[in-house]
C-alpha cells in the first residue's frame, strides 16, 4: 500500500508534510508508512478517503482499478460545451485554411444549429474566437483569424 500512497502523493504533487497536515496526522506517521516501518492504520485510510473523495478505495486498498473514481479536475483535453462550438467552426474552416479562404461568416448558423455570436442569459454577447494557432509535428505552425 505504501507504493500506492507514494503514487497518490506524486499524482497530487504533495509533500508528505502537506499531506499529513491535510488529513490531520503527524508527519512522522506518514514518514514511517512511506519508509515501510509501519503499515497504515484503518484510521489513516479512512481519513485519506474522507479528505479525497475522488480517490478509489479499491485502488488504495487492493491496487485494483484506477486511482480515481472520477476526474476531480478537468484536464486540458476535456471539452467544454462552448469549446465544442469553436471546434465545429475550426473543422469547417480547416480544409481551406492554407489558401486564404475563411469558414462560415460570423453569426452564420452551423450544422449543430448553434450560432457563433449568441447572447448569454445575461444579455451580454458571448466571447468570440479571435485567433487560433495550430502546431504541427514538423515543428511548424499556422495562425488563423476568423473574419
Cα–Cα distance between 48 and 74 in angstroms, integer?
Answer: 22
Q: Please tell me whether residues 52 and 8 are part of one structural domain.
A: yes
pLDDT at 95: 46
pLDDT at 76: 62
Instruction: Confirm whether 13 is domain-assigned.
Output: yes
Confidence of residue 92 (pLDDT cuts 50, 70, 90): very low
Helices 16-23 and 2-12: crossing angle in degrees, nearest 10, is 100
Cα–Cα distance between 128 and 32 in angstroms, integer?
Answer: 54
- Count how many domains the chain has: 2
Question: How is residue 115 annotated by DSSP?
Answer: -
Instruction: Confirm whether 47 is domain-assigned.
Output: yes
Q: Are strands 141-144 and 132-135 parallel, antiparallel or unpaired?
A: antiparallel
Confidence of residue 103 (pLDDT cuts 50, 70, 90): very low
Q: Please tell me whether residues 54 and 86 are part of one structural domain.
A: no
Q: Please tell me whether residues 12 and 52 are part of one structural domain.
A: yes
* Summary mean pLDDT of the chain: 74
Is 106 within 8 Å of 116 (Cβ atoms)?
A: yes
22 pLDDT higher than 80: yes
Cα–Cα distance between 76 and 68 in angstroms, integer?
Answer: 17
Instruction: Look up the CATH number of the domain holding residue 18.
Output: 1.10.260.40
What is each CA distance from 76 to 4, 80, 127, in whole angstroms? 25, 10, 19
Region 70-99: mean pLDDT is 52
Hey, what's the cell of 30? Answer: 506518514
Confidence of residue 43 (pLDDT cuts 50, 70, 90): very high
4-20 confidence digits (pLDDT tens): 999 999 988 988 889 99
Region 44-70: mean pLDDT is 89
Domain around 38? 2-62
Amino acid at each position: 500500500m505504501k507504493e500506492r500512497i507514494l503514487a497518490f502523493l506524486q499524482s497530487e504533487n504533495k509533500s508528505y508534510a502537506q499531506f499529513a497536515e491535510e488529513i490531520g496526522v503527524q508527519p512522522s506517521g506518514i514518514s514511517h508508512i512511506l519508509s515501510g516501518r509501519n503499515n497504515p492504520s484503518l484510521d489513516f485510510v479512512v481519513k485519506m478517503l474522507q479528505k479525497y473523495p475522488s480517490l478509489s478505495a479499491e485502488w488504495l486498498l487492493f491496487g485494483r482499478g484506477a486511482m480515481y473514481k472520477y476526474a476531480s479536475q478537468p484536464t486540458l483535453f476535456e471539452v467544454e460545451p462552448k469549446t465544442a462550438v469553436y471546434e465545429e467552426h475550426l473543422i469547417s474552416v480547416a480544409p481551406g485554411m492554407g489558401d486564404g479562404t475563411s469558414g462560415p461568416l460570423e453569426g452564420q448558423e452551423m450544422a449543430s444549429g448553434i450560432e457563433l455570436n449568441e447572447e448569454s442569459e445575461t444579455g451580454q454577447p458571448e466571447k468570440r474566437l479571435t485567433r487560433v494557432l495550430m502546431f504541427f509535428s514538423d515543428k511548424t505552425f499556422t495562425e488563423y483569424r476568423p473574419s
